[in-house]
Amino acid sequence: MEEDLLKDLPPQSLDITTSRGGFTCCVPGCFNNSKKDQTLSFYRIPKDKTLRKAWLHKISRKDFRPTDGHRVCSDHFVGGKKTYMNNIPLIVPKTLNAVQPKPRQTMASLGIRGKLLVDEQPQHEDMQEGSQECGSESQISRYIEEISHLQQKIRDMEACHKNQIDMLQREICELKKNSFSIQNAKENKEMLHFYTGLPDNETFEILFNYLGPAVNNLVYCGSNTAGDKINSETYVKRGPKRALSPRQELFIVLSRLRCGLLEQDLAFRLGISAAHVSRISTTWIDFLHSRFRALPVWAPRQKIDETMPKCFKESYPSTRVIVDCTELFIEQPSSLRSQSITYSSYKHHNTAKGLIGIAPSAAVTFVSDLFAGRVSDKKATKMSGLYQLLQAGDSIMADRGFDLDSDLPSGVSLNIPAFMNGKDQLDICDETETRRIVSVRIHVERAIARIKSFRILKTVLPISMAPDLNKIWVICCYLINFLPPIVIENELE
């Protein structure tokens, strides 16, 4: 009997009663289905009592007892998705009084009564449906207008967004053009020399290549986890990649030494933290000091003779080294004893003293560690270890303050300007000798001037830099060997 009635039903009625399967949203008025709307998510009603109560309150179905088959679709959550913070369906037709929803039509409920629902509808229901259709048409028109308005708004936002992207790209191009980097500095020879003290990019690459592959695996100060293997050529750095390339980090450190730039200034230029700049600076100063100290700068006698300028060959062919001391201003220590031993009566300031030795060709061949400013030149030379490098037949050239005759090794002579010894003026022979010595000893003064061109050494160095002060001094002294020679440019005929 039922099968005969179903055969008489029109095709559209069969479509209505066909089950679509999947989950259908249990919120009143929502007919989203998991099979029909596969882009949506369907969530179970939570078992937590507090959340469950909040969900049922929002759903507002009278006498509703949810089962495992009930779902709420993602359209009812702000943002179109349930999250940890957004876990209550807020976009629901909430009413103050819960209502009993009309039961959905199913295959069972449309057995025998299906034909009646299709064939025996009252005329007034047709009129109501017509009025609803009219109302629907007016709503559709209003929806279309709203959609058009929203589409225009989206187009305006896209255009605004594109303009902002173009503006940001132009700003990025300007920043890259004016950025503080080795890539930009090496294209301008004068700027590279200004920031690093090196004459050109070729010299910068020579220095960088000398440092070897260990520059790629430097471990920043404070990350001492690899023991003796740190900053060696065999050590492989672990952890995240470095924010800056090794060349850029070397450029930063040389700029800090050459221009005396503060860490806060470098951090602002590079867009990184001052603490990170400090770690880079400390790490590279340690690394450069160890690599430069490994350089065999003390030239053998044969090399000295081969590179000796004409002015030395004629008058002082036995000269092995020209020495002089220079002082660096330091901040006054808090300790009275430290104040006493670092106070220089010559500079009237607390200082640190360093001894520099150059070959007749003006290449730096000896750099001592720093001493307290109160130490005399003679004592600094004796404590520096210079005497152990001299050989019989060598001679030292120095200023009057280096009265070293009594301390020199056997077979080593000293050339210094003559003393007055109570005379009103020098003899003609002494004056001639003094002028000759001064004319060639001036090259060590020029070497010291090059060292002091690293402006970090011309400032009053704070006590906080005491652990790195000696390393900075050594690095600056060795760096001038990467500059063009002095004597060839200024050789006296």
Distance CA 67, CA 44 (A): 9
Q: Please give the pLDDT value at position 153.
A: 87
Q: Please give the pLDDT value at position 83.
A: 86
Q: Please give the pLDDT value at position 3.
A: 46
Residue 416 CB partners (closer than 8 Å, separation 6+): 397, 398, 399, 400, 402, 403, 437
Q: How many CA atoms lie within 13 A of 377 on its CB side?
A: 16
H/E element, 326: strand 319-329
Q: Please give the pLDDT value at position 13.
A: 36
Q: Please give the pLDDT value at position 98.
A: 47
Q: Please give the pLDDT value at position 91.
A: 82
The phi, psi pair for 82, rounded to 5°, reads -85, 130
Q: Please give the pLDDT value at position 113.
A: 45
Query: Cβ–Cβ contacts within 10 Å for residue 320, how many?
Result: 24
Residues of the chain with pLDDT under 50: 1-19, 96-99, 110, 112-131, 134, 226-230, 489-493
Contact 25, 134 (CB under 8 A): no
Query: Is 271 exposed, middle or buried, given 0-12, 13-18 or 19+ CB atoms closer than 10 A?
Result: exposed
Assigned token pair, 175 = 């920043």
pTM of the predicted model, to two decimals? 0.62
Q: Please give the pLDDT value at position 103.
A: 57
Q: Please give the pLDDT value at position 402.
A: 86
